Amino acid sequence: MEGNLLAMLAGSVLSLLFGYVPGLRDWYEAQAGVKKAQVMAGVLLIAAVGVFLAACYTPWPVGVTCDEAGFWQLAQLFIAALVANQAAYLIGVKPSRTATERTE
């Protein structure tokens, strides 16, 4: 699977998980707007760091290499995941929010 497609899929799925999984949704919706953005970006960043570490310390191919070129490729994938995450939220999650959640 193409790296961009995989990163965008991961970002979209993460947005949908935070928007629809019962316990996770309640916790996430209780956060302030800036905190929500920080949480989502942080989770995606942790995933990106995990992929880079896997490229460096495991024998399995993960789509990036453990060098400077791989780092910059991963930075591009991280941005693609952020964009897909926000698009999935705006299209798939935000319209389903309750009136109480919309006031935040």
Question: In tens digits, what is the pLDDT along the chain, a chain of 104 residues?
Answer: 456 677 778 888 888 888 888 888 888 888 888 888 888 888 888 888 888 888 888 888 777 888 999 899 889 888 888 888 888 878 877 777 665 555 55
Q: Report the first-to-last Cα separation within the chain, whole angstroms.
A: 38
pTM value is: 0.74
How many Cβ atoms from other residues are within 10 Å of residue 66's Cβ?
A: 15
Give the Cα separation of 83 and 7 in Å (integer): 10
